[in-house]
Amino acid sequence: MDWVGAVKEGLVRVFPEDDPGTVIYTEYMDGKIVSDSLHYENLAAVYRHKYASISVDLIFVSDDDAYSFLLTYGDELFPDVPVVFFGVSGYAPAHREKMPRLTGVVEEMHVNPTVDLITTLQPGVQNIYVVNDPGTTTGRLFAAELAEKAAAYNGTLTFSAPGETRMAALCHDLKNLTSGSAVLLMDFNRDSDGRIYRDSEIAGIISDWSPVPVYGISDTFIGHGIIGGVVTGTTDQAESAAGMGADILNGTLPTDMPVSGSPEAHVVVDYVEMQEYGLPFSLLPEGSQVINQPYEGVVLPGWILLIIIVGAGALTVVVLVLVRSNRHIAKAKRDLDTSNQKLKTLFSITRHDVNNQVMAASGFLEILSEDITDTGVQPFINYIRKALKNIEEQIAFARDYEKAGVSDPVWQNPGVIAKEAGSRQHGVSVDVVLPGIEIFADPMLEKVFANLFENSVRHGEHATRVQVTASLRGDAQVIVVEDNGAGIPDGKKEHIFKRGYGANTGYGLFLASDILALTGLTITETGIFGSGARFEITVPKGRWRTAR
């Protein structure tokens, strides 16, 4: 579970979502993306307007960026409203002197206990490679904490941290780590290029690229490829803070509630990763939690086992073959998943780097075009501008295509999804008239409708309206997306779903067709040239149902 999900789970343990007496407003401040004073000022203006007529009884604040914002603007925006914080490392007693209604749970970073766990499980370790992003508020606090804690290991361990870095450089460093090293993942939500990473995502990337064991100081990393660490449950922190909030709502004054430390920390390790690196479970401290342990089975009396063995003798060879085969399949799947993750990471980094270069080239081209007065050169500048635009669109396609088929298909209401996609389309009006049905499709179904609507805008010439309807043909539902534009010539109908075909990038309809094909849905173009384009999505029996 990622950090946001863990926080929410802890809060709803005390404040259930279905409680009619509680209304919770959640604000995502995007502090990992930008946390400068201008961003805070803009947020303050939004909240000032939004909550001008809303009575707020209690504020929960989580993460250091949100906490810093409340310290600056809390008195102005929410005067006299009690504030309970958690997941915050930057608390200082002086903050409570400034804001007496403040209380909460201080996040404790168990750096030394986790390093001690590393040296216990890997007695020969000499170097700790630290992954942290000092470009964020939390990352800077963690870096300062590391500098203080690392002093306890002078002469026995060396700590190396790359600081702010691009993901490609980080992966290169990890790949070249040698035996005698271990990785400590502290906090990495943003690289130097500005790309944002979820906890589960960064843990998976780091562990995939590192040839040595990876440890972490947050429970949200565990279960995603790392060995483990000494951690306090994020959900437990949130629940503890929620309990303080409930007491405040029941009449306890915040000034009577001292700021507390995090709930008790525990050693948590992943069985699969411990086995992968051959680390001894016998060296784990008493009370350690081991996740992903294999099912132990049920211990049966000997006489029952004898009956089973005798009765199943004829099946022994088959069972042994199946077990061996299944083990090979499981190993092959793990190897394939690892390879896919590495390719995905490499692809994502490359795509991001190319996009940055395209943006830079576009900027320089605009500057260049302002200084050139030779009209004979202008067509070449326009050609370069168009080529760069095509590259941008191809990068966008690559990002979308990478997501297709990654998540399991789900039952979705096409009417709701088509309306959502249509609400973001300003080139034509979109009218959705669909029956109450659900279809079994890839989660990127919205992209299908978005691309079809975009097709009408780009190629419909005089198209002003798109209509989405459906009808039952035999045992299949046929969803029709049609516009009042120019239509598609008969000679092009069979080619428009091919990759790269079209006046622009030629990827929109190809992607739509591929997304639908993942669950056995098909798309064809049946319109009459001159009367508009008409796309028919056929949803076979078993892939649609009446909406529930």
Query: What is the reported pLDDT for 501?
Result: 61
**First CA to last CA across the chain, in angstroms?**
28
Pairing verdict, β 465-473 and 476-483: antiparallel
Distance from C-alpha of 483 to C-alpha of 367, rounded to nearest angstrom: 40
At residue 295, does pLDDT exceed 70? no
Tokens 């170097």 identify what position? 127
pLDDT tens for residues 51-68?
A: 988 899 999 999 888 999
Query: What is the reported pLDDT for 309?
Result: 56
Cα angle 528, 533, 538 (rounded to 5 degrees) comes to 100
Q: Would you say domain 410-546 falls under CATH 3.30.465.10?
A: no
Length of the chain (residues): 548
pLDDT tens for residues 360-385?
A: 677 767 777 777 777 777 777 777 87
Give the burial class of 126: count Cβ atoms within 10 A of its Cβ; 0-12 exposed, 13-18 middle, 19 or more buried: middle
Query: What is the reported pLDDT for 494?
Result: 78
Inter-CA distances, 546 with 146, 414, 435, 543, Å? 57, 12, 9, 11
**What SS3 string covers 47-90?**
HHHHCCCCCCCCEEEECHHHHHHHHHHHHHHCCCCCEEEEEECC
Q: What dotted CATH number matches 3-107+237-261?
A: 3.40.50
Write out the H or E segment, with its range, that includes residue 259.
none
At residue 398, does pLDDT exceed 80? no
Inter-CA distances, 343 with 40, 174, 338, 340, 351, Å? 37, 16, 9, 5, 12
Pairing verdict, β 102-106 and 83-88: parallel
Query: What is the reported pLDDT for 143?
Result: 86
- The two tokens of residue 511 are 């992607």
Average pLDDT, the chain: 83
Instruction: Answer yes or no: same fold for 111-229+269-280 and 410-546.
Output: no
At residue 535, does pLDDT exceed 90? yes
Q: Specify which residues 185 forms β-bridges with.
A: 131, 216
Query: What is the reported pLDDT for 279?
Result: 94
Query: What is the reported pLDDT for 4?
Result: 77
pLDDT tens for residues 210-262?
A: 999 999 999 989 998 999 999 988 888 889 999 999 999 999 999 999 998 88
- Alpha helix positions (H), 210-263: 234-249
pLDDT tens for residues 116-144?
A: 999 999 999 999 999 998 888 888 888 88
pLDDT tens for residues 445-481?
A: 988 998 899 888 888 778 889 999 999 999 999 999 9
Q: How many C-beta atoms lie closer than 10 Å to residue 448's C-beta?
A: 29
Query: What is the reported pLDDT for 77?
Result: 93
Domain ranges of the chain: 3-107+237-261, 111-229+269-280, 317-403, 410-546
Q: Which amino acid, 113? A: P
Query: What is the reported pLDDT for 121?
Result: 96
Query: What is the reported pLDDT for 330?
Result: 60
At residue 267, does pLDDT exceed 90? yes
Q: What percent of the chain has pLDDT over 90?
A: 38
Of residues 402 and 373, more confidently modeled: 373
At residue 36, does pLDDT exceed 80? yes
Report the CATH superfamily, name and number, of domain 111-229+269-280. Response regulator (3.40.50.2300)
Give SS3 for 209: helix
Phi, psi angle pair for 521, to nearest 5°: -90, 150
Query: What is the reported pLDDT for 326?
Result: 55
Distance from C-alpha of 527 to C-alpha of 483, rounded to nearest angstrom: 9
Give SS3 for 101: coil
Query: What is the reported pLDDT for 108?
Result: 85
Query: What is the reported pLDDT for 115?
Result: 94
Of residues 147 and 296, more confidently modeled: 147
